Amino acid sequence: MDWPNIIFAFSLTLFAGLATGVGGVIAISRKAPGERFLAGSLGFSVGVMLYISFVEILPKAVEELTSVWGARGGNLAAVGAFFAGIALIAVIDRLVPTAINPHEPSTVGGAVGGYERRSRMMRAGVLTAIAISIHNFPEGFATFVAGLTDPKIAIPVAVAIAIHNIPEGIAVAVPIREATGSRGKALKWATLSGLAEPAGAAVGFILLMPFLGPEAMGLSFAAVAGIMVFISLDELLPTAISSGRHHTAIYGLVAGMAVMAISLLLFI
């Protein structure tokens, strides 16, 4: 068992997960990022994740699976696992109620009194933390598998997911700070929500460990590509565009693809 590679993959997952804490720090410091920066950075993450999913991770899955099951069987298995990954993250997304899902428009509104408002804000913050944790669990698995694959794939994936996690940390910290008046509690909940990612990595490792081989790794690669494509198109890109900076988001997406393409060419 390649423990240095496993430790490296887990460390990347921990780095990506703890980025929600960065969002918490931003929220309690009142230095919120501007709309243009948010749109561009999230768009950049989309470009990185889409490009690497289709150009590196999915082809890697096909390569692993065709070495075992031949060209036809390997391609069929890779395609099946890719859409299974999409289905998995889509089901998880649907299981989180729309009212507390950080990737859906908020349904909480209206003027309320002081105590009721604080109670509602606290509930919103805690439930958002739970919802984000549910979403982050498969993201942690995706980052971990990428780390086991190749550093040139894993590092950009971890950075892209970390960028994606920063506004999620803000989404958790802001209502909790408003409800409690405590910066410490806001930061704690924001950080804890991101720890679901290393937890997802640990569970994925335990499940994969007895089966590590071309079949398990190939299927995992394909499923991870599907998960990342869904996250990019269902969560990151709509969030970037909803900032009102549509063109900035798209420019960021293209820039992310270009940077990823250049970095991969440098490794050839």
Annotated binding-site ranges for Fe(2+): 136, 139, 165, 168, 197
- List Cα–Cα distances, 240 to 44, 134, 192, 234, 251, in angstroms: 10, 21, 24, 11, 11
Question: Quick one: residue 147, left, alpha or beta (phi over 0 = left, psi -120 to 50 = alpha)?
Answer: alpha
User: Residues forming the annotated binding site for Zn(2+)?
Assistant: 139, 164, 168
Q: Give Cα 243 distance to the centre of its chain.
A: 19
Distant-in-sequence, close-in-space partners of 228: CB < 8 Å, separation ≥ 6: 49, 50, 52, 53, 57, 142, 157
User: Residues forming the annotated binding site?
Assistant: 136, 139, 164-165, 168, 197
Residue (of 197, 225, 202, 205) closest to 137 by Cα position? 197
Q: Give the residue ranges of DSSP H helices in the chain.
A: 3-17, 19-29, 35-52, 58-95, 114-149, 151-180, 183-194, 196-208, 214-230, 237-242, 246-266
